[in-house]
Amino acid sequence: MLTYTLLAGLLFGLYFTLIGLGLNLVFGVMRIVNLAHGDFLMLGAFLAFWLFSLFAINPIPTIPIAFLVFLLLGFPLYYLLVPRLLRAKDPEMLSFILFFGLSQVIQALATILWGTSERSIPGGQLGRAIAAILSFVTGRTIENGPIEILGQSFPAAWVASGIASGIGVLLVYWYLYRTKLGYLTRAVMVSRDEAVASGIDVDRISAIAFGFGLGLAAVAGVFAPFLLGSITPAMGAEVTITSFAVIVIGSLGNPLGTLLGGLVYGISYMFMQSYYSSWANLLPYLLLIAVLLLRPNGLLGRQARRA
């Protein structure tokens, strides 16, 4: 039971890393609070759902599709909303409200288009693709079904989301620390004003980061029907809050911080659920407040958050 809880927490935590990754990037670069983050995840989830139910496209190939679609969607959305917002007196605060408005618009459109019933994708679908991939990679025939790790069996979707999350973290890390654009992005994170002064095209850098953020949210959405049971147009708000807990526990800008935040969150959630199940949902909030007050810079962070 202990091993199972721990491993489940790890996998679940990796999924929450994936959820938080995009939000962290947007907050880190633009200092704006994307309250519609969960709603973009919801859109990604519906993309996977419709591609599957209309064209029988397996969720695995949907992952790159979702990422690209939302990356491209991010650019116009950025130029429409953010530069104007950043010129206001208190952009950080106003972004709360602006993106709340956006979240309402997305939710309303989704409800009008798709109704309110729960939707999901049967679990075997993802498993089949993963079994095929694993068979190909290992050269052995792997049956569709739960995957064994250390003698415990877990849903294939959990393992797949864990892998996707790992790739996501590595990609963001590689982008930030190994590419020229990433270098400039980090400069914007440290100080937007200085970046502007040194001639960096801050808007271009930010727009790319914004697109990345939405793309990652959409990828996390593809897994939502499997990890969160079912999807509805109204699911976004709760996801947003949890992802805030994750990125605050870690630290801003650093994808490894989000990884740590996700794991701390996932493991402690699973332990709470295992041993004090009725209190489990209290945990993210307490963790968030405790980390903010005790280690205001996040578990890995350096930037000051104090007033």
Partner 1 sequence: MFGKVRLSLFAALLASIFGTAYAADAPKEIKLGTLYASSGRFASISMPVHYGLKLWIEQKNAEGGVFVKAFNKKIPITLVAYDDQSNTATAATLFNQLITQDKVDLLVSDSGSVLTSVGVPIARDNKMFLFDQTGTGAAFFTPDNPYIALMSDPVSSVWPKPLADFITHDGNGLGIKRVAMLYSTNDFTGTQANAVRKFIKESGTDVEFVYDQGIPTDTTNYAVLINNIRATNPDAVIHLGYAPNDIAFIHSLEDGGVNFKFLFCIYPGLETELLEKNLGVKPLNYIFTYVTSSEIEYEPNFGMKLKEYKELWNKKYAGGNVEFGFNSVAGYNTGLVIEKALSVAESLEQLEIRKAVFSLSGKLKTLDGTFELDPNGAQLGMSTPIGQINVDDHDHVKFVTVWPHEVANGKPVYPRP
Partner 2 sequence: MRDVLLILVPLVAAFALLPFVYSNHLLLFNFIIFIVLAQGVNVIYGFTGYLPFGYVGFFGAGAYGFSLMVLHLQAPPLLAIVVGAAAALALALVLTPLFRLSGAYFSIANLAASLAVLQVVANPNLENYTRGPYGISLSGIFNPPLAYATAVAILAMTLFAVIFLRNSKFGLALQAIREDAISASMAGINVVRERVIAWLLSALIAGLAGSVFAWYASVFYPETVFSGEFTIFAIVFALFGGTATLVGPILGVIILYGIYNAVGISTPQYFQLIYGALIIGLVLFLPNGLVSLLRRWGIDVP
Instruction: Catalog residues that contact partner 2 under the rule CB under 8 A.
Output: 27, 31, 33, 81, 84-85, 88-90, 92-98, 100-109, 111-112, 237, 241, 244-245, 248, 278-279, 281-282, 284-286, 288-289, 292-293, 296, 305-307
Q: How far is the CB of 103 from partner 1 (least distance, A)?
A: 13
Q: How far is the CB of 296 from partner 2 (least distance, A)?
A: 7
The CA dihedral of 34, 37, 39, 43, to the nearest 10 degrees, is: 130
Which parts of this chain interact with partner 1 (CB under 8 A)?
1, 4-5, 8-9, 12, 107, 111, 114-120, 122-124, 127, 145-146, 153-158, 226-230, 232-234, 238, 269-270, 273-274, 277-278, 280-281
SS3 86: helix
Work out what residue 5 binds among partner 2, partner 1, none; the CB cut-off runs from 5 to 8 Å by kind. Answer: partner 1
The residue among 53 and 191 lying less far from partner 1, judged by its C-beta, is 53
Do residues 158 and 12 touch, judged by C-beta distance below 8 A? yes
Q: How far is the CB of 298 from partner 1 (least distance, A)?
A: 24
The residue among 55 and 197 lying less far from partner 1, judged by its C-beta, is 55
Do residues 66 and 215 touch, judged by C-beta distance below 8 A? yes
Q: How far is the CB of 22 from partner 1 (least distance, A)?
A: 20
| Non-local CB neighbours of 256 within 8 Å, separated by 6+ positions | 169, 173, 250, 300
Structure tokens at 158: 């959990």
Q: How far is the CB of 147 from partner 2 (least distance, A)?
A: 33
Do residues 284 and 295 touch, judged by C-beta distance below 8 A? no
Do residues 25 and 37 touch, judged by C-beta distance below 8 A? no
Neighbours of 182 (CB within 10 A): 18
The residue among 185 and 268 lying less far from partner 1, judged by its C-beta, is 268
Rounded to whole angstroms, how far apart are CA atoms 149 and 162?
13
The residue among 251 and 273 lying less far from partner 1, judged by its C-beta, is 273
